Structure 1
């Protein structure tokens, strides 16, 4: 049998405990929401730079997806990385100007068509 406070349908203590736990849960949720808002508006230099870098990386990843490379490669990251390394080697070679002109024209045309 439970403590006297829980007997005979007089669950006043249980009711108060339940209400306190619910208030605690609401308080935690409000605190988490507040911390998220503060984090989004954090203007320290390193935080702003980190957000810029993250956005830039996401945009570059979007280009890989938009070009269809992920689907064509079956999401094989080693293959995609190898292809990017091949591009980097091409840009380091004496064929750099030719490759840049060709790829820039093709990319510009693709952006205009989409």
Structure 2
């Protein structure tokens, strides 16, 4: 019972730093989900150096003159992938 009460209190904690930490944690989990959804974990045999290298390469491209082209291309591909996967999503409870 004590653990449940502690968990409920922690969930309801509205202090600014706690709320910001919770939001950041959620963002990081969602971004990790995108890495998984893209298939990068399986395609790289869960090699984090390779995955990080891919992200560093993408960041370098976003710092280049081709930024707008890259963003548009990646946005279109991402939108198409989300639309393709949409029927497979299960409804949230």
Provide TM-score, normalisation by structure 1. Answer: 0.73
Counterpart residue number, 2:57: 86
The gaps in structure 2 that reach 5 residues or longer are 86-93
Name segments (4+ residues, structure 1) moved above 2 Å.
Answer: none
CA RMSD of aligned residues (A): 0.7
SS at 1:98's partner residue?
Answer: helix
Larger Rg: 1
CA deviation map 1:60-104 (0-9, x unaligned): 000000000010000000000011000000000011111001000
Higher relative contact order (CA closer than 8 Å, sequence separation 6+): 2
SS at 2:77's partner residue?
Answer: helix
The gaps in structure 1 that reach 5 residues or longer are 1-29
Counterpart residue number, 2:29: 58
Matched, 1:46 2:17: yes
SS at 1:35's partner residue?
Answer: helix
Counterpart residue number, 1:67: 38
Provide TM-score, normalisation by structure 2. Answer: 0.88
Q: Pick from 40, 62, 72: which aligns with 1:101? A: 72
Q: Which has the higher helix share?
A: 1
SS at 1:84's partner residue?
Answer: helix
Residue pairs, 1:15-54, within 5 angstroms: 30-54=1-25
Report the number of matched residues.
85
SS at 1:43's partner residue?
Answer: coil
